[in-house]
Amino acid sequence: MVAPAVSPESPAASDKPDEHPPRWHLLVRVLVAGAAGFLLYLSGPPRTLWWLAPVAFAVLGWLVYGRRARAGFGYALCFGLGYLVPLLAWTGEFVGLVAWLPLALAEALMVGVAGAAIAVVSVLPAWPLWAALLWVGGEALRAVFPFGGFPWGNVAFTQPEGSYLPLATVGGVPLIGLAVTLTGFGLAALARRLAHREYGVRRLLAPALATLLPIAAAFGSLPLVGTDANDGEATVAVVQGNVPRAGLDFNAQRRAVLDNHVARTEKLAADVAAGRADQPDLVIWPENSSDIDPYRNPDAWAGISAAARTIKAPIAVGSVLVGDDGLPRNTMLLWDPVKGPVSQYTKRQLQPFGETMPWRPFFRLFTSAVDRAGRFVPGDKATVFHMANARVGLATCYEVAFDGVVRESAQGTNLLAVPTNNATFGYTEMTYQQLAMDRVRAVEHGRAVAVAATSGVSAFVMPDGSVTQQTGLFVDAALVQRVPLRSTTTLSDRLGPSPGWVMSIAGLGALAFAIVVRRRRRTGQA
């Protein structure tokens, strides 16, 4: 039987990796895979080395090209560990290594699955495209599994400073991920052609297009990034009251945290009265700014009411409310200066190993620290806060990592707010990683974003993703800014989750076809 013809983009005989390399070759490749993953980590905040991301994927593409699925899995697993172990180090601040390393390993295993699939599709023409689509599919899987999903390591979140950011307004986080990985895999294909001295236009054209077209598309998307105040403007204040000390036990000093935010708001009111600051139309307090339930504690009610009256503006207050079942809810309260609380939003996407503890009995076998994690109850719907002329959508802390949650929160709004509490993670990079997500969401949904953090970093993000003001860590501060209100629906919002689904299905279709091709090739060689 005659074997199927080898396509111009599939591994030719002269280009096929050695299936039985010396052991030291294998060790070098494993180390290179881990180093490539670390390059991807270095590409993200607080660093501005966004261009390292496609380089990292070029290395991964070089390693897995033409290999068996199990080799692709192994190299991608090492790549994932190199990326996710340092990226998620902040999770260890909460309940120790029992959260950090198992979580990083679980995420890296799914990166390995994507790597196995990428190795399989490398037999196809235009393999960089199919590889990039499969990577996006892998990110979609990580957004729902394990522990309810953990999309924190999505490639798009490394790109707030990058040329790819405008693509968020077209296709959201999945399109940025596709563009970055396609550039990287295209670069790998191009490097392989050049390494094998294949200089013909026909051999170089496809990988060159895969490398350059995503960048061209990003620049072509720039005119679609809207920044105009088409629904008016509002003067917004974000208050960062700070906490008594960094670390998990700040919750033991809940009254001090509330007092800090009341005092910092009253200080802002004094600055307004003295002409040192503009009068805000609305004020955003952070998540957990009042962990004392004001419905059950009159002193907390009185303090928040006094702050709202003094600043003469409605305040979005981060509180913890206890339900009739005795369990807590992470809730934002809309506090009117005259009427008190008039609306509320309960966080829907809870943070595993923090607000909840997955597999608590199992992990308790290894450490009692798991019981420091909470037993919070999630909310079930998005809520828009009507504050002066602003319609404010809320994504509380961890929620900003989830495409669907933020998309629902952005509907019917002209401003987004991200109240967050990062004090429990100390001086780790977590708060900067989250700010990067805020910047991507601003472009994706065409909204200014007000970020209020208990201990930093608080910031104002414009609809083009630029940061105009930003606080430091573990300082008390108040930022005031006139921001554009925008009601335009971006193309990304109109398309909803469909780009991600289409990409994932296309990648799986290519994987199925590649499996058939490989089987036929093996049959033909028998």
Q: Cβ(478)–Cβ(458) under 8 Å?
A: no
Q: What is the largest CA-CA distance in the chain?
A: 89
475 φ/ψ sector (left φ>0, alpha ψ -120 to 50, else beta):
beta
Active site residue 287: yes
> Which residues, in sequence order, are CB contacts of 309 under 8 Å at separation 6+?
337, 338
For residues 63 and 58, give the distance between their C-alpha atoms in angstroms, rounded to a whole number. Answer: 9
Nearest of 507, 492, 515 to residue 136 by alpha carbon: 507
Pairwise CA distance, residues 298 & 287, whole Å: 20
**Are 167 and 179 contacting, i.e. CB atoms less than 8 angstroms apart?**
yes
Q: Report d(CA 332, CA 290) in Å as an integer.
A: 10
| Given the residues 93, 397, 429, 444, the one annotated as active site | 397
Q: Which two tokens stand for residue 93?
A: 């601040």
β 459-461/415-420 pair status: unpaired
Query: CB-hemisphere CA count at 13 Å for 109?
Result: 8
Q: Alpha-carbon distance 526 to 515, whole Å?
A: 17
Cβ-contact 445, 418 below 8 angstroms? no
- Which letter, b or e, does each residue of 469-507 get, where b requires 16 or more Cβ atoms within 10 Å of its Cβ? eebebbebbbbbbebbbbeeebebbebeeebbeebbebb
One-letter-per-residue 3-state SS of 74-126: HHHHHHHHHHHHHHCHHHHHHHCHHHHHHHHHHHHHHHHHHHHHHHHHCCCCC
Residue 102 makes CB contacts below 8 A (sequence gap 6+) with none
Counting Cα atoms < 13 Å in the Cβ hemisphere of 459 gives 22
Task: For residue 335, list its beta bridge partners.
Answer: 315, 341
Which residue in 107, 161, 287, 444 is the catalytic one? 287
139 is annotated as an active-site residue: no
Spell 91-100 as b/e; 16+ CB within 10 A means b. bbbbbbebbb
Distances in Å between the Cα of 402 and the Cα atoms of 143, 169, 493 are 7, 16, 14
SS3 at position 496:
coil
Cβ atoms < 10 Å from Cβ of 299: 12
Residue ranges with strand state E in 338-411: 340-346, 384-387, 390-394
Among the listed residues 304, 374, 379, the one whose alpha carbon sits nearest the alpha carbon of residue 342: 304
Q: Which helix (H) or strand (E) holds 40?
A: helix 23-42
Phi, psi of 133 (to 5 degrees): -65, -40
Query: Which one is catalytic: 347, 355, 399, 429?
Result: 347
* Residues identified as active-site: 287, 347, 397
